[in-house]
A and B are shown apart, each in its own frame.
Chain A
Amino acid sequence: MKEEKEENEMRKMIMVIICLGLLFSIASLFTAGTLAQGEDESTLSIGMPTLYEETFLLWVGSPSQDLWAMVYDYLFYRDTDTKDIIPGLAKEIWQVSEDLMTYTIQLREGIPWQDGWGEVTAEDVKYTFDRSKKPGSTNSEREVLEKAIDYIEVVDDYTVSFHLKNPDPKFWHFLVADISGWNLPIVCKNYILEVGEKKAGEEPIGSGPYRVVEHGWGDYFKFEAKTEHWRVVPEFKYVIMRVVPEESTRVAMLKTGALDIAEISLRSVADVNKTEGTAAESWPGGYVMYVSFGGMLTPLDERYEEGYHRTDPWADVRVREAMNLAINREDLVKVIYKNMADPMPIGWTLPGYEELDPIPYDPDRAKELLSEAGYPDGFSLTLNAHESPPAVEIPIVQELLASYFGEIGLQAKVSMTDKAKAREYMRAAKDVGMLIPQETGVRRNWEVKFPGSYLPGAAKNHFQSEELTALYNRVVEEVDIEKREKIWAEIAKYNRKNFTEIPLVVAHPIFGFRTDKVGEWPKNSPFPKYFEYIRRAEPLGNWRLFTP
């Protein structure tokens, strides 16, 4: 009897457990989010490998501009044809004081925040920059902003002045929607103070041409176009930005029409181009691929160790030149980059780089130089390789470099890691004996970015010399912008002459798109991508563009 009672109790317990388990799984189907099907003619679906962040209050940096630019506006933009800076929320180009310490901006009047939150005013501009640079801000460019700006003054409702800590002829980089990365879209102060940062990040209020209408966490954002906007009324009523981490899936979704635009890499270009209804196009600008020489610190750097650093063969400029001459960049562009890249003479697109002589392909001369430098039998080295989207071709490029080096007698071993590990080697100054691939944006604010690669004290610097440090110091002391550009050109020549790295190409990022859906698409730079300006292949007639 007792056993029978226990067995019944056990049976009941098991049935309860099984039912709970099934209920839980079924309940999950209903509680998990879902995307309302918006894939009709008025919807543009964009697939990207990541959203970078899922808040509209600005943390991570420039990759999130694809999201921000849908909802917010910037003070200034770049004209997509002429590349000139044009006013955005500002009604005209900034005024700068003679001592280059104060930048004053006049805003347009009457630009509304959505949902009745008033107009864009100088208070909003001040608030945007103050919250990004304040202590405790998690904006990744906080330090840069904090170093540059002393305080921001609201002169009147539509006039704001930035007072700088040091004269800076290029402070405007912070104000222009551009690829340099620190430019901030303007946020609504009253709304954020009213609802708090969390809600404002999840349900943003912006002045931009789109509003957020749906968000699937970790999955997508859906935007709806406003019917009136001071800059552009987009042609696509809805835009869905969707996370599709796996590239083959993005391509498959492009082919089946589930996506209209997809970020792709070189390996998918042929497939997308040969599929009916889809095409691949490259974007101007993009990123520069180069390979840095390890262990090139100088005693100026606190991490320098005597006898450890600057002991590799490439400490000799002849060896660096030889390694550069060994590479056939034209072949690289044709074979690896499918002609969607251009050879580079130096690692960065510094002013004047286009006037520099290209590095020729001359393996015979390379061998002579190695002999002169005392390496007639070559030497061993490690080529670090890692994938770093969009530069997914890095491992193949490094294998190719290994074979080029082999032809001049160097024994190169390719070592696969992840990008974080490669950065760790550099930060810890342990990249001795190693060449590390770098991909870096086509930048414009060199004053801020240059120290990170070439000056002592930066975590990712790859080449140091007293001459470079002296040249850079001249740049930042010079307030005349034309003279600054000339010093930059000197730095470009120095880098070319001294082979401070192994420059390869400037590669263009690539998008696949559906030709039956996507029409004209202004291309200026990767960030932002100006999705609001994309035309349909067959226009619907609701698109309106206003000249600022």
Chain B
Amino acid sequence: MRRYLLLRLGQGIISLLIMSILIFFLARLTGNPLDVLLPENATLAEYELMSEYLKLDEPFYKQYWSFLTKAIKGDFGDSLRYRTPVRDFIIRRAPVTFGLAGVAFLVSILIAIPAGVIAAFQKDKWQDIIAKLFAIFGQSLPTFWLGIMLIQLFAVHLGWLPAGMYNKGIQYWILPALSLGWHSTAGILRLTRSEMLDVLSSDYVRLAKIKGLSTPVVIWKHALRNALIPVVTFLSNIYGRFLMGSVVTEVVFSWPGLGRLAYEAIMHRDFPMVQGLVIIFVGLFILINLITDILYIYLDPRIRYVID
């Protein structure tokens, strides 16, 4: 078991390294950041000077090596735009994004799993129809459009909730969490429903019913645990997706998190910021996958047996 975990960790580190190379070079394919940073009347000589100052004139491999050796120590360099350490920005803005992703994640699970179970149990009845409609809308509406429409409806026309702005008051979290989480909630709901339908028709569940176990015990204790196996895999991707999907939500709702920081960095070709953020996001994704694998082992004894 320990060997397996170490192996997975090693794979994660290699993935991170490969991603860092990819991001480093892809970011530079977008063009020269000085086209954004320097004023309009900058001369070619000024381009050269600034290029030298920011070490953009060095060969790619040198720039990458400098970046890598610092990144290992958690130093992603200075933002080209702000001239202050990227790390400082990430530390300041991370709590906002993690908070939003966490709330959206919790809300998704709390809505989707029970709704999926109920929809499966009440197949083709009105509960199932509502759940399916919820899922269809959730998976077809783009997040940026959804966010703007939610603001128009609940803030401008009804006046129930604030239009945007980051604040600790719960009313400020509802629309962003809904906008961010609806798509994934729909996915979890559909998957839970589908898995539950499979499991509910299996022999051991029928046996449990015949044995006289109550319906809630059959569903929540016996059936759901097996139905959750693929759902857990899906959930692990969800949190990572919330982190990355926060870009759109944070821009629409004006939240000062990592997502909006990434948006601003891309718009301004702030390479160090883009690199730092992507490394962080990818690292988190790899960590979440590792945790998922551990959860998987617990949920499915067959996997534990194979590993052993």
Instruction: Tell me the A residues contacting B by CB distance below 8 Å.
Output: 6, 10-11, 13-14, 17, 21-22, 24-29, 31-35, 37, 50, 53-55, 59-61, 138, 140-141, 143, 181, 198, 216-219, 242-246, 248-249, 252-253, 255-256, 258, 302-303, 418-421, 423-424, 427, 440, 448-449, 451-453, 457-460
Contacts and interface: CB of A to CB of B under 8 A. Distances in A.
25 contacts: A28-B95, A28-B98, A34-B168, A53-B81, A59-B82, A141-B39, A218-B257, A218-B260, A243-B254, A245-B251, A246-B251, A249-B163, A249-B254, A253-B163, A253-B254, A256-B156, A420-B36, A421-B31, A423-B36, A427-B35, A427-B47, A449-B41, A451-B41, A452-B39, A459-B43
B148 interface: yes
Nearest to A245: B251
A25 B108 CA distance: 14
A-B CB proximity, top 7 nearest: A452-B41, A25-B102, A218-B256, A28-B99, A32-B95, A219-B256, A252-B163
B256 A256 contact: no
* Interface size, B (range): 35 or more
Contacts of B89: 217-218
Contacts of A32: 95-96, 99, 166, 168
Contacts of A22: 102, 106
Contacts of A28: 94-96, 98-99, 102
Given A242-B254, A252-B155, A256-B155, A14 B264 contact: no
B42 interface: yes
A449 B31 CA distance: 24
Given A34-B167, A141-B39, A219-B256, 4 more contacts: A21-B291, A143-B49, A252-B155, A427-B44
Interface string B160-187: 0011111110000000000000000000
B166 A216 contact: yes
Nearest to B99: A28
Contacts of B267: 418
Interface in B214-272: 251-254, 256-257, 260-261, 263-264, 267, 269
Given A28-B99, A451-B43, A458-B44, A424 B106 contact: no
B219 to A, nearest CB: 22
Nearest to A428: B32
Contacts of B198: none
Query: Counting chain A CB atoms within 10 Å of each CB, which of B95, B156, B164, B257 scores highest?
Result: B164
Interface string B20-52: 000000000011110111111111111101000
A441 to B, nearest CB: 9
A28 B94 CA distance: 8
A35 B99 contact: no
A24 B260 contact: no
A24 B1 CA distance: 27
Nearest to B37: A140
Contact of B84 (A13, A55, A418): A55
Interface string B135-151: 00000000000001001
A245 B254 contact: yes
Contacts of A418: 267
Contact of A249 (B38, B98, B252): B252
Interface stretch (B112-120, B202-210, B294-302): B294-302
Nearest to B93: A218
A453 B264 CA distance: 27
B252 A246 contact: yes
A216 B45 CA distance: 37
Given A50-B264, A459-B47, A419 B36 contact: yes
A427 B163 CA distance: 41
Contacts of A256: 155-156, 159, 162-163
